[in-house]
Structure 1
Amino acid sequence: MRARFLPLLAVSAAGLLALTGCVANNTSDSEHAALTVDSSADACAVSANEAPSGNLSFSVTNSGDQVTEFYLLAEDGLRIVGEVENIGPGLSRDLVVQLAPGNYLTTCKPGMVGDGIDKTAFTVTDSGDDIVVDEDLDAQVEVANTNYAAYVRDQVAQLVTGTTAFADAYLAGDDDTARSLYAGTRAHWERVETVAESFGDLDPQLDLREADLEEGQDWTGWHAIEKDLWPAEAEAGFTAYTPAQRENLATLLVADTATLNDEVQDLTFTLSQQTNGAIGLLDEVATGKVTGEEEFWSHTDLWDFQANIDGAKVLYAGVRDILLEEDADLAAELDTEFDQLQVLLDAQRVGDGFTLYTDLTPEEIKAFADQVNALGEPLNQLTATLVL
């Protein structure tokens, strides 16, 4: 995070490009394959793990004792293709979607918190029928806006759960566990970073870097704790925080994250917010992650880099059908540049994480910077193409 605020953001995901023509909660009377889902306290049982392409309905029944949600996700587990929320115990709701052939995931979320349970592969086979995207532009835009709002709520809900676990470890003095949770939990923030930045003081309270502190400003949030967790990387003379300081920082981090969760519950989006969001997320990569300035002590900048691109990909997947109608060449260029950027990131994977920024060579850093610039050029055309 830098001490400034950007418009909401959106970009593209090549891994999601097969998942086009998805219309969530469409109540059309056309024939469709019908499946059932039993969402209990500890399972999300779908009546089949594959179905033919075209219209598909899921009748979701809550047999548990908490309000639940059902999600149909893209193969990467990030983009929400369709979802139904607020299903009370004993109640049922239907999700109707139009799906192209491909690989998806199903999951339920009892209590409407966390990253979902019983996440299961779901395959859509080729029925041989053409998947016709709704020709009504307004309808396509509404689907993109609705699905992105659901994605933001889901990421922030997972951020709440992860932050609580991180803060508990930090308060208990279990620094090894806290360090292991740091980058993975922050990924949920980074995927929706430009949305979080729209809520005024919440952004600096949660994500301000020490270099951006103004005179007399209290320093709270993730990076204040980061410095304490990686003292060997801090400047000479750094003094570890006292138990009281730790408690204050952890308590504020949890409370501010809970406030963010409250704020995103009623979010709505416009197409321009999504397209401008893409530009903003890429700017976050270019000015913080590629330079190594974001995670100054942990050096986990590539985790943040990937998360920013994840969020961008989700946004782009939501508007790509619309872009194909307006400018297929621009869509093809964006697909290619996103692919190339992901190749560079994948080359730095180590287990479940990435190479530390300090272990990158100057040539590798330059390759990242060059590819971010290559993506930035076509991405900057997105809003003008779709909105103006």
Structure 2
Amino acid sequence: MRAARTSVAAAISTLATITAVAGCAQKSDAKDADAVQVTASDSACEVSRTSFPAGHVKLAVENKGSKVTEVYVYAPGDRIVTERENIGPGTRASINAEIKAGSYEIACKPGMKGHGIRQKVSATGKGKLPPRDPKLDKAVAEYRTYVQRQADETLPKVRAFADAVKKDDIEAARKAYAPSRVGWERTEPVAESFGDIDPKVDVREDGLEKGQKWTGWHRLEKSLWQTKKITAADHDLADRLVADLKDWQKRVGTADITPTGMANGAKELLDEVQTGKVTGEEERYSHTDLVDFKGNVEGAETSYKLLKPVVSKNDPGLVKQLDKEFAAVAKLLDRYREGDGFVSYDTVSQTRRKELSDAVNALAEPLSRLAAAVVAK
């Protein structure tokens, strides 16, 4: 979930992880002559050109501000085309994306919050992307099937969770809570690309926009673990959660999925781990963060494995590194298994959390190069 950033940034600073994440960005080559240069500061978002050919587009981002920033490309309706988070002060990052002809907005978000400082841009052409490797078409088709399956398998689990809430069965609802979120966590970038679903189902209290009503999983999480009381309003919230996720289930098949989008989404999932799960911000009441952590990593690895046949040819060294780092994160997570799930995250010490953070950073750096390897010729 991407909305709550102020407290997350503070927590990351406490863990001393933001420097490591920013270090990943510094390694990117942001000086390509063909790239659209994006210069971000605390008060501006400047682009080198507002019109560029549709197709494979590279954004070369430089953060000249004093705050960690993120950069988004939005289609009409705030549908997310691509994004990059955790671009530290004084660092650079490259974003590779496939962009169809049309009108867009590039947004820089100092402090990783808010509507962002936006620039209108357009991609010109007939709207068709260049022919791609058939292996990439296969990867997209298989990933689309995967995403739909995750949504289909999530709904019964969400209904079980909602039914327990409506029966005022706190223990049953607590037990059903984390499993109901796994499919969402595995495919969150696709869900977020629609723009309007994530704020309804996965927003945290400190991520609410002015006037926004708090709904979704985390509102119910607070009732179950902090207030320890289920109210009639919670019954309504449970029904709304099911309805909103049914909407997600129906719409996920229409998502605009591209090979670079899959690669960027894998990196976004690692950012989710770093800014929400490692810090303990995501599941602050239930402390089920490691379940979400595992789901994010599984989703990222699925995207990578589907793209691997092409990346193996374009950048075999990157494949070797990613295989190693995914295995290292999986091995580390296994230490915290308990029964069918994981230990409560509030039992994990700061030293152990830093160890998890370091492992995620070691994976995030090569994963940030995956999209470039996908489009390499």
Superposition TM-score, scaled by structure 1 size: 0.63
- Unpaired runs of 5+ residues, structure 2, are 5-71, 73-79, 84-130
Distance in 2 (CA, whole Å) between partners of 1:309 and 1:239 is: 31
Letter of the 1:314 counterpart: T
Task: Tell me if 1:356 matches 2:356.
Answer: no
Residue 382 of structure 1, aligned match among 358, 367, 370: 370
Over the matched positions of the two proteins, sequence identity in percent amounts to 44
- Specify every segment of 5 or more residues in structure 1 that has no aligned partner in the other structure, as ranges: 10-135, 232-237
Q: Which residue of 1 aligns with 2:353?
A: 365
Aligned to 1:182: 177
Q: Which amino acid aligns with 1:382?
A: L
Cα distance 1:239–1:372, how it changes in 2: closer, same or farther (>3 A)?
closer
1:219 is aligned to 2:207: no
Amino acid at match of 1:364: R
Tell me whether 1:169 sits opposite 2:164 in the alignment.
Answer: yes
Question: Which of residues 240, 260, 265 in structure 1 aligns to 2:248?
Answer: 260
**Number of aligned positions between the proteins:** 255
- The 1-side partners of 2:228 and 2:292 are apart by 27
AA of the residue aligned to 1:343 = K
Q: Per-residue CA shift, 1:243-292, capped at 9, x if unaligned?
A: 2x022201110110110011012334211111111111110001000000
In the alignment, the residues of structure 2 paired with residue 300 and residue 361 of structure 1 have an alpha-carbon distance, to the nearest angstrom, of 15
Q: In structure 2, the residue corresponding to 1:298 is in which secondary structure?
A: coil
Seen in structure 2, the aligned counterparts of structure 1 residues 213 and 307 have a Cα distance that, compared at 3 Å, is same
Q: How many Å apart are 1:138 and its aligned residue?
A: 1.8
- Alignment correspondent of 1:296: 284
Alignment check: 8 A CA contact 2:190 2:255 kept: no
Equivalent position to 1:314, from 261, 281, 302: 302
Could you give the per-residue CA deviations for residues 33-53 of structure 1, whole angstroms, max 9, x where no partner exists?
xxxxxxxxxxxxxxxxxxxxx
CA distance in 2, matches of 1:154, 1:8: 23
Q: Aligned pair in 2 of structure 1 residues 260, 362: CA closer, same or farther (>3 Å)?
A: same
Aligned residue among 331, 336, 342 for 1:343? 331
Q: 1:268 to 1:199 in 2, by over 3 A?
A: closer
Match of 1:287 among 257, 264, 275: 275
CA distance in 2, matches of 1:7, 1:336: 29
Structure 1 residue 203 and structure 2 residue 198: aligned? yes
Q: Partners of 2:297 and 2:365 in 1: how far apart?
A: 16
Q: Which structure is larger by alpha-carbon Rg, 1 or 2? A: 1
Distance in structure 2 (CA, Å) of the matches to 1:288 and 1:387: 30
One-letter amino acid of the structure 2 residue matched with residue 242 of structure 1: T
Deviation at 1:8, TM superposition (A): 6.4
Is this contact kept in 1: 2:168–2:230, CA < 8 A?
no
Question: How far is the alpha carbon of 1:326 from its aligned partner?
Answer: 0.5
Query: Which residue number in structure 1 is paired with residue 311 of structure 2?
Result: 323
SS at match of 2:254: coil
Preserved contact between residue 156 and residue 189 of structure 1 (Cα < 8 Å): yes
User: How far apart are the structure 2 equivalents of 1:229 and 1:385?
Assistant: 44
- Residues 1:7 and 1:360: Cα distance change in structure 2 (over 3 Å): farther
4+ residue runs of structure 1 moved beyond 2 angstroms?
Answer: 4-9, 238-242, 265-268
Compare 298-307 and 205-214 and name the one that shifted more.
205-214
CA RMSD of aligned residues (A): 1.8
Over 3 Å counting, the alpha-carbon distance change for 1:8 and 1:352 in structure 2 is: farther
Higher helix share: 2
Which protein, 1 or 2, shows the higher relative CO under an 8 Å CA cutoff with sep ≥ 6? 1
Following the alignment from structure 2 to structure 1, what is the Cα–Cα distance between the partners of residues 253 and 209?
A: 31
Give the conservation status (yes or no) of the 8 Å contact 1:278–1:379.
yes
- For residues 165-208 of structure 1, give each alpha carbon's deviation from its aligned partner in whole angstroms, at most 9, with x where no partner exists: 11011101111111101111111110011111111221010000
Question: CA-to-partner distance for each residue in 1:21-79, whole Å, 9 max, x for gaps?
Answer: xxxxxxxxxxxxxxxxxxxxxxxxxxxxxxxxxxxxxxxxxxxxxxxxxxxxxxxxxxx
Contact persistence 1:8–1:274 (CA under 8 A) = no
Picking from 248, 252, 263, the partner of 2:236 is 248
Q: 2:263 is matched with which residue: 271, 275, 290?
A: 275
Report the alpha carbon displacement of residue 370 of structure 1 after superposing the two structures with TM. Answer: 0.6
Task: State the 1:242 CA deviation.
Answer: 2.5
Instruction: Give the secondary structure class of the aligned counterpart of 1:230.
Output: helix
Structure 2 CA distance for partners of 1:212 and 1:267, relative to 1, 3 Å: closer
Contact 2:170 2:228 in 1 (8 A): no
Pairing of 1:5-84 with structure 2 (within 5 A): none
Paired residues of 2:270 and 2:360 also in contact (CA < 8 A): yes
Alignment-mate amino acid for residue 225 of structure 1: L
Contact 2:148 2:252 (C-alpha < 8 Å) held by counterparts:
yes
Deviation of 1:327 after TM superposition, in Å, equals 0.8
Query: Aligned letter for 1:228?
Result: S
Superposed displacement of residue 309, structure 1: 0.6
TM-score (norm 2): 0.65
Per the alignment, in what secondary structure is the counterpart of residue 212 of structure 2? coil
Aligned residue number for residue 34 of structure 1: none
User: Is the 8 Å Cα contact of residues 164 and 170 (structure 2) preserved in structure 1?
Assistant: yes
Cα distance between partner residues in 2 of 1:377 and 1:342: 17
AA paired with 1:180? Answer: K
For residues 278 and 260 of structure 1, the distance between their equivalents in structure 2, rounded to whole angstroms, comes to 20
